[in-house]
Structure 1
Amino acid sequence: MEEIVVTEKDRDAAVRRLRDAYADGHVTHEEMDGLLHRLLTAGTRGELRAALATLPEEDPGTTAEIAAAAGRIRRRGPWQVPRTLKVQSALGHVRLDLSRAIIEHPVVDIEVRLGTGRATITVPRDAIVDVEELATGWKAPLYRPRRRSGGAAGPTIRITGAMGLGRLRIRHARR
């Protein structure tokens, strides 16, 4: 599988994590110099992860969970998106609309656990979506990445988890 190229936002987050580890005394000055060089010259996200592997785990921030055995799960409008969101539905329909949501984190992790239900996630127009760690049982997710227009990139939405017989559709907001 082709590695994802590092964006400036990825690199900034990695440098921030290194800086925090140094400030907390987890990294010596010499180690920081070497790691900083690796971070600034990394070409892929895999190289970034390898350089950060020796650092303590970063604070995951807030986590929220939404679950329903059957029925609907719906979030839309101006709602606060946590750093990590866990969504579980055995039989129901999940609809998450992040297009007008308040997203304060550069990376949002959405862990989806679907049984036989369907899910639709609408992400902001400028969001970067990563579905590499999503395990599918029956059908692959429906997602077509947006072409980059050269403007500033929005938040990274990482979608992980597992789907049984359900179907996940991911789309970018039109505005």
Structure 2
Amino acid sequence: MDPEARASDRDRETTVVRLQQAYVDGRLTSEEMESRVERAMTAVSHGDLAMLTADLPERPGEVVTLTSKAGKIVRTGQWRVPRVLRIESEFADPRLDLTEAEIDYPEIILDLHLSFGSARITLPQGASADTDEVTCEWGSVSSEAPGAARPGLLHVRVTGELSFSKVRISYRGTTKRRWFTR
């Protein structure tokens, strides 16, 4: 992410949640947390926010990497979604259903690195999904979800690289197939 890019309210909120968790984990004193939260709320750029958490390690389970050559990667039902889920696959067709998942973050990142195959992401109603950080060689990305974050609702950032793969993002129970390609 470009450190000079302007931060959004969602970016500031995500940083505040991380700072609060660092305080709960005993990594920050109350004074440090309060000072950093105040600076996060007035941060202008992504670089400003990154400085506030640069000395904090990722929490266990915040970043998970799933790797598969040709096996299935399926997550449905009540599964815990990490802050960053990285999927590296050559021939698998990942299926991620977030409708009943336990999600502790206002924003999650799905970092997809797919050579062949199709990924399907099912969102809970009202969630948004930004796909601007996906690089497609011969693949495609289609989404029926709005790209802009909505206050109080889950926002999913989809990032990564698709060689000969497709990513489809939809809501559960969508009867009419309308895919808007980026």
Stretches of structure 2 lacking an aligned partner (at least 5 in a row): 175-182
* Deviation (angstroms), 1:124: 1.6
Matches within 5 A, 1:1-175: 6-7=8-9, 9-15=10-16, 23-24=28-29, 32=35, 36=38, 39-40=41-42, 47-57=44-54, 58-61=56-59, 62=61, 63-146=63-146, 153-174=152-173
Aligned sequence identity (%): 26
Instruction: Give the SS at the match of 2:52.
Output: coil
TM-score (norm 2): 0.69
CA contact (8 A) 2:127 2:145 kept: no
* Deviation (angstroms), 1:106: 2.0
Instruction: Give the SS at the match of 1:132.
Output: strand
CA contact (8 A) 1:18 1:36 kept: no
* Deviation (angstroms), 1:102: 1.0
* Deviation (angstroms), 1:24: 5.0
Deviation string, structure 1 residues 113-149 (Cα, Å, up to 9, x no partner): 111111111122222322222211113301133499x
Q: Distance in 2 between matches of 1:121 and 1:115?
A: 17
Change (3 A) 1:53 1:87: closer
Query: What is the aligned residue count?
Result: 162
Q: Distance in 1 between matches of 2:31 and 2:39?
A: 17
Stretches of structure 1 lacking an aligned partner (at least 5 in a row): none
Q: Which amino acid aligns with 1:153?
A: G
CA contact (8 A) 1:93 1:118 kept: yes
CA contact (8 A) 1:91 1:116 kept: yes
Instruction: Give the SS at the match of 1:92.
Output: coil
CA contact (8 A) 1:18 1:52 kept: no
Change (3 A) 1:4 1:156: farther
TM-score (norm 1): 0.71
Q: Which amino acid aligns with 1:120?
A: R
Q: Distance in 2 between matches of 1:81 and 1:15?
A: 19
Change (3 A) 1:54 1:126: same
Change (3 A) 1:11 1:155: same
* Deviation (angstroms), 1:76: 0.9
Could you say which structure has the higher strand fraction? 2
Change (3 A) 1:87 1:51: same
